[in-house]
Amino acid sequence: MNGLSQRNRTLGELLTELKSRMGFVAQGPASNNNNAVFTSFLQEAHDIMYAQLNPVMMRKKTVITLEPGSYLYDWHNDIEDEDIDPQLVQLVWIVDGNERYPLIQGISEGERGDASRSQPVRYETLNGQIELWPIPDRAYGLMVEYIASRPRFNQPSDRPGISDRLVFLYALSLAKSHYRHPDAQVAVSACTNLLRLEKVRQHQNRRYFINGGDHTGDGRVNGENGSYHYTPGGR
């Protein structure tokens, strides 16, 4: 879990507030009968608002512990309990003490036929898993640097990848419309206003270069009136 996501409330916390705002908590344990539909509203809200904001994807690193004799491992960040998309992997290293050794992507069939054991130097994706060659001869760390895709949002402890308040307000508008509450439009308006503010905030936090100048490769752009700093990827 990273510091940014910890600022957002969990799915379980949002579910409790949503049931409270909808007046279902007063039903006691019977209110749990509505958990599935309210969870669905929150998940739909997360999907739609995430697509609306299209937040800058985060670069992450995780270390997978290797075992002697095992050459297949899941593409998974165990610390944050999230799957890693192999297509979004940027770099892979072997960690041995304080040293790091980059791995080359690609394993030939001839190399696969070599069952020797030593420090891995190559990796590939095989049947959805990380394949290493040679087979690890002892315990190493496998550091994976990747770009995180949209976070999982189906377990009570999961946190949204965007403002939890925005997710809640959209889910509230869905719930009130579903149950035909007369103030449903109030929730819709509140969500629309917050979404607009979030989009404005996104643009305020980004820096753009002027006149389409040439990139210098060092975080500057050469324009007609001099050099301007920019942030790669709009960060």
* pLDDT, tens digit (0-9, with 9 covering 90-100), for 216-235: 444 444 444 443 333 444 43
| β-sheet with 214-215: strand ranges across | 214-215, 220-223, 226-229
Strands (E), the chain: 59-65, 72-74, 76-77, 82-83, 89-96, 99-102, 104-105, 122-126, 129-133, 141-147, 214-215, 220-223, 226-229
The reported pLDDT for the residue numbered 172 is: 97
Domain ranges of the chain: 5-55+151-204, 59-147
Entry pTM: 0.63
Contact 37, 18 (CB under 8 A): no
Residues in the chain: 235
Tokens of 155: 């377990």
* pLDDT, tens digit (0-9, with 9 covering 90-100), for 38-51: 999 999 999 999 98
Determine the Cα–Cα distance for residues 138 and 118; give it in Å rounded to an integer: 8
pLDDT average, residue stretch 115-122: 96
* pLDDT, tens digit (0-9, with 9 covering 90-100), for 50-96: 989 888 777 899 999 999 999 999 999 998 888 999 999 999 999 99
